[in-house]
Amino acid sequence: MEIKKPAAAGTLESSDCQVTVEAGSGGIEFSLDSAVINQYGNQIRKVAFDTLKNLGVNNVRLTIVDKGALDCTIRARIEAAVYRSVGQTENLPWGGAIRS
């Protein structure tokens, strides 16, 4: 998937994260600000990269401001941001690129 316009998903509430995606400059640019970066920073990055891979996104600037979200939340927010960036809000590939 190609990021078409900047898009965001999520909030800055506790146990949520705010994800922003913008068109990249030829790769994945990842930035993380997390309340739990010391304990879960590597895990969050792994979830982020796995999610992008599932979505087939490889040219993106991904910014996550995390307030202690669980992996499932982080995944969902990234998926939402990416599909918003391409303007797709219906016929989402549940069970496909969007893993349950």
Partner 1 sequence: MINAVGRDIPEEILKRTGKEVFQGVHHFDGHVYRKHGPLTQAVINSEGSKLVDSIHDVLIKCGIKDGMTVSFHHHFREGDLVVNMVMEEIHRMGIKDITICASSLGKAHDPIVPYIEDGTITNIYSSGVRGKIGEAISNGKLKGLAVMQSHGGRVRSLVTGEKQVDIAFIGAPTCDDYGNCRGIGGKSNCGVLSYAMVDSLHANRVVAITDCLVPFPNFPAHISMTRVDYVVVVDAIGDPEKIATGAAKPTTDQRKLMMADYCTKFVVNSPYFKDGFSYQTGVGGASIASTISLAREMKERNIRMRFGVGGLTKPMCDLLINDQVDCLLDTQDFDLDAVESVKDLRHYRISAGQYADPFNKGAVVNKLDFVILAALEVDVNFNCNVVVGSDGVITGAQGGHPDTAAGAKCAIVIAPLLQGRIPAVCTEVTTVTTPGESVDVVITDYGIAINPRRQDLIEAMKDVDLPFKTIEELRNIAYSIAGEPEKVEFQDRIVGIIESRDGTIMDVVRQIKPFEFSEE
**Which residues are CB-neighbours of 60 under 8 A, at least 6 positions away?**
3, 21, 22, 23, 24, 28, 29, 52, 82
- Closest distance between partner 1 and the C-beta of residue 43, in Å? 5
**Which residues are CB-neighbours of 37 under 8 A, at least 6 positions away?**
44, 66
Q: Of residues 2, 5, 31, 70, which one binds partner 1 by CB under 8 A?
A: 70
Q: Which residue stretch of 19-27, 29-37, 52-60, 86-94 sits at the interface with partner 1 (rule: CB under 8 A)? A: 29-37
Minimum CB distance to partner 1 smaller for 86 or for 99: 99
- Closest distance between partner 1 and the C-beta of residue 12, in Å? 13
- Position 78 contacts partner 1 (CB under 8 A): no
Please report, for residues 5, 14, 17, 55, 95, the alpha-carbon distance to residue 63 in angstroms, rounded to integers and kept in the order given.
Answer: 14, 17, 10, 16, 25
- Position 15 contacts partner 1 (CB under 8 A): yes
- Position 27 contacts partner 1 (CB under 8 A): no
